[in-house]
Amino acid sequence: MNYHMAIDMWSLGCILAELYTGFPIFPGENEQEQLSCIMEVLGVPDKDFINKSSRKKLFFDPGGAPRLVVNSKGRRRRPGSKTLAQVLRCNDDDFVDFISKCLVWDPERRIKPASALRHPFVTGGRRPKVLTSTSKSTLSTPSLSGRRKDTTETPKKSLISAPTPLTARSSRTTASNAAPPTPSSSSHASTLGTSRSYRASQPQSLSSYHSSRTLNGYATATAK
């Protein structure tokens, strides 16, 4: 028999049972004993199902009866001697029913994922919402207005990437080579005023300088 989706549903049933009880639901020591554990709860499979197996001679006799084995503790498991509710120790009918639909011998009769999603155990007694073709297309394809809105509301900061060492050096080089900023009117006026005062005071300092040279020269000539 080929492996397909049905084996996943079987695994789901085993995992849920183990999560609930804390123990494996079919704790066999080997293949023969594990099959005995399964038959202890699910009973012996149909002969038609057994005949599909390529290894049926290892587990069943020519008449289709299971070959019973004894485990290391001396225990022999009897097919159909336990119910699933007894093994799970659970009185939740929905949970037990869900597990029983996952653990079915014939994979073709095992519950399918779509049916499992509509099971009362999954929905909690609520009727699941069925998606129509219109709602599916709406969910899968966002509207153009929504895209435009998302693009418009994108912060500008996110469009500017963080500076790299190369861009940082380029920015510093550009800043150093740039022309000095044009002074404002107030700063320009203050600069002009300063230069004017400097020019106004300059002749006085020069005349003082020449007079001191003259006096020094006169004093020097007198001294000679």
Tens digit of each residue's pLDDT, the chain (224 residues): 566 899 999 999 999 999 999 999 999 899 999 999 999 999 999 998 998 888 889 999 888 899 888 988 888 999 999 999 999 999 999 999 999 999 999 999 999 999 999 999 999 866 545 555 555 555 554 444 444 444 455 454 444 555 555 555 555 555 555 545 554 444 444 444 444 444 444 444 444 444 444 444 444 444 44
| CA neighbours closer than 13 Å in the CB half-sphere of residue 155 | 4
Bridge partners, 76 (sequence order): 70
Tokens of 24: 């494996």
* CA atoms of 97 and 95, how far apart (whole Å): 5
pTM listed for this prediction: 0.55
β-partners of residue 60 are: 66
Question: Which domains are delineated in the chain?
Answer: 3-122 (1.10.510.10)
